[in-house]
Amino acid sequence: MGLLAGAMPAAAQYPNSWALVIGVNAYQQVTPRLNYAVADAEAVAAALPSLGFPRQNIRVLLDGDATKARIETVLYREFANMGPDDRLLVYFAGHGETVRIRGGEEGFLLPADADPKALPLTAIPMEDLKRISQRLRAKHYLFVADACFSGLALTRDVVPQATSDEYLAAALREPVVQVLTAGRKGERAIEEGGHGLFTRRLLDGLRGLADTEGRGVITAAQLAAWLEPRVVRDSKGRMTPQYGRSRCGSTSSGWARPGRAPRCSCRTSPSARTASSPRKERGRGSGRWRSSPTTGPTS
């Protein structure tokens, strides 16, 4: 997305920046309870001002406040004044679910009031991420989910060997919708050390470790390329972050680095912890995402 980090002040790159940060530990109808989704959301929100997001444009929804209606109210009412050259970040930490449908699969993000028996009505389909970008006016969108999922058509970005000035200029110029998730269907987003493993590494990257060229600039594609092998390594192959852009987007975008301006099957709670492993995993069934039957700082 635009510039996640940059030597220029973020204000010079975007007229305005907006963020919706969501973390749900306690669900009304979904188990198990998570441990660190709220802490993850709070940590991401705390990091955003140094990335050029004005505090007044950051909304944080935790636990019972993170209902589907409240999420949609923030996006479509409170962020209605978004400009055509602005950027939007949506971060979600919580449960997700993948269901089989005729001809494929559909992934859902589960707000606090999700009903596992009526997901199309009470949850947020991953396909809606594209619709959000079509309904709102911003130029750059980055959706980050500390959850595993399937069911969203993405085209993987190619990360250049080096980020030339021309590449960065194009990243800022072209509209784009990008998605980064903790893993794929059947995997579980691990919780350890007070955070989800994926979010802990995400924060490391945003604080500058993903700026491997030392340019003071990190694009979303570079962040994902830095993040993926480390999460795979740290999870011992149990998590494989997924990254790409939706078909309605074009090139990668970049951000400014600090100092340079029913149970689900992905996150799994301590009840899923095995005696042989100190790590905690988020989710029900197979991974913070479940597959359901057909319903119709080191480097």
Asked, for residue 54, whether it belongs to a domain, the answer is: yes
Asked, for residue 297, whether it belongs to a domain, the answer is: no
Q: Rounded distance, CA 126 to CA 128, Å?
A: 5
Q: Rounded distance, CA 70 to CA 59, Å?
A: 11
| 294 and 99 Cβ atoms separated by less than 8 Å | yes
Would you say residue 271 has pLDDT above 90?
no
Q: Within 13 A of 77's CA, how many CA atoms are on the CB side?
A: 6
**Per-residue pLDDT at 216:** 79
Would you say residue 265 has pLDDT above 80?
no
Domain span including residue 271: 10-292
Average pLDDT over residues 3-20: 68
Average pLDDT, the chain: 80
> How many structural domains is the chain composed of?
1
Question: What is the tens place of the pLDDT at every residue in 152-194?
Answer: 544 445 455 566 777 777 777 788 999 999 988 788 888 888 9
Q: Rounded distance, CA 65 to CA 287, Å?
A: 24
Q: Rounded distance, CA 256 to CA 52, Å?
A: 7
Asked, for residue 47, whether it belongs to a domain, the answer is: yes
Rg for the chain, CA atoms, rounded: 18
Residues in the chain: 299
Q: Which H helix or E strand runs over 122?
A: helix 119-122
Would you say residue 196 has pLDDT above 50?
yes
Would you say residue 293 has pLDDT above 60?
no
**Per-residue pLDDT at 248:** 46
Asked, for residue 5, whether it belongs to a domain, the answer is: no
The CATH number linked to 35 is 3.40.50.1460
Q: Rounded distance, CA 146 to CA 40, Å?
A: 9
Q: Rounded distance, CA 22 to CA 106, Å?
A: 21
Average pLDDT over residues 220-231: 93
**Distances in Å between the alpha carbon of 257 and those of 6, 17, 87, 139, 231?**
5, 14, 15, 19, 20
Average pLDDT over residues 269-291: 41
Question: What is the tens place of the pLDDT at every residue in 90-142?
Answer: 999 999 888 889 988 889 999 999 999 999 999 999 989 889 999 999 999 99
Average pLDDT over residues 28-57: 95
Q: Rounded distance, CA 44 to CA 63, Å?
A: 16
Would you say residue 150 has pLDDT above 60?
no
Asked, for residue 75, whether it belongs to a domain, the answer is: yes
Place of tokens 């269901």: 99
Asked, for residue 2, whether it belongs to a domain, the answer is: no
- 48 alpha carbon, distance to own chain's centre: 14
Question: What is the tens place of the pLDDT at every residue in 44-83?
Answer: 999 999 988 999 999 999 999 999 999 999 999 999 999 9
**Per-residue pLDDT at 27:** 97
Asked, for residue 159, whether it belongs to a domain, the answer is: yes
* Cβ contacts of 146 within 8 Å, gap of 6 or more: 37, 40, 91, 92, 93, 94, 181, 182, 189, 196, 198, 199, 202, 267, 288
Kindly state the tokens that stand for 44: 């991401």
For residue 48, how many other CB atoms are within 10 A of its CB? 22
Asked, for residue 55, whether it belongs to a domain, the answer is: yes
Question: What is the tens place of the pLDDT at every residue in 238-264?
Answer: 999 999 886 444 444 554 444 443 434
Concatenate the DSSP letters of all residues of 213-280 into one string. T-SSEEEHHHHHHHHHHHHHHHTTTS---EEEEETT--S--EEEPTT-----SBB--GGG--TT---E
φ/ψ (deg, to 5) at 162: -145, 145
Any bridge partners for residue 266, and if so which? 288
Q: Which H helix or E strand runs over 17?
A: strand 17-23
